[in-house]
Amino acid sequence: DSGVTQTPKHLITATGQRVTLRCSPRSGDLSVYWYQQSLDQGLQFLIQYYNGEERAKGNILERFSAQQFPDLHSELNLSSLELGDSALYFCASSVEGERNTIYFGEGSWLTVV
Amino acid sequence: GQQLNQSPQSMFIQEGEDVSMNCTSSSIFNTWLWYKQDPGEGPVLLIALYKAGELTSNGRLTAQFGITRKDSFLNISASIPSDVGIYFCAGLNYGGSQGNLIFGKGTKLSVKP
């Protein structure tokens, strides 16, 4: 158990809909990362937040957005969903600093039908 | 942007054999991380390396941070069937706006009993 909690674990929704994925980082971790992994693909970095502020942005579509709240949990919002958005979405967290280590949650399976 | 080349892409080995995989980068990192991912699950951190030249073990796993800071390798000794999975290397630079983790494309390991 990495200590990073993601909900929901599985989600099936229709095209055009909007969903929200939730992440609770490990206790004490200020940074939250979101990654997308499609079938047989590697991990694509979407976005990073540090203590409530956006720190780094990767290949995140305009239809997707994220935020980190004062209690440090984060949400990834996916809207106008398309079939190609079906993937595993991972949240990860880290404390930052010289011996930075990043731990991943178990992921949220999104299926768009 | 930064890219990691991870090789080999896949390996088919006999139980009991040793395994070696590596990652190279065009630019330097100050942290290297190695993860294992089982199908449908989140990447699990195996080893973290923070200093050039550092050699770290975790059971049958050994990883090294290259002297140039542009490469790292992971060795698995005396492989067993539960070693099956995808192994990812990841490079990280903390601080500034480069907070995200750059992943290799993974090495898929298959072990024949």
Are the C-beta atoms of A20 and A75 separated by less than 8 Å? yes
- For the segment B62-88, the average pLDDT, to the nearest whole number, is 96
pLDDT at B94: 65
Q: What is the pLDDT of residue B3?
A: 73
**What is the rounded CA–CA span in Å between residue A96 and residue B72?**
21
The reported pLDDT for the residue numbered A29 is 92
Contact check, Cβ <8 Å, A56/B99? yes
For residue B97, pLDDT over 80 is answered with no
Q: Are B19 and B83 in contact (CB under 8 A)?
A: yes
Residues A89/A8, Cβ–Cβ less than 8 Å: no
Per residue in A85-106, pLDDT (tens digit) is 999 999 999 877 667 788 999 9
Cβ within 8 Å, pair B102-A106: no
Give the total residue count for chain B: 113
List, for residues A41-66, the tens digit of each pLDDT value. 788 889 999 999 998 888 899 999 99
Contacts of B92 in chain A (CB under 8 A): 100, 102
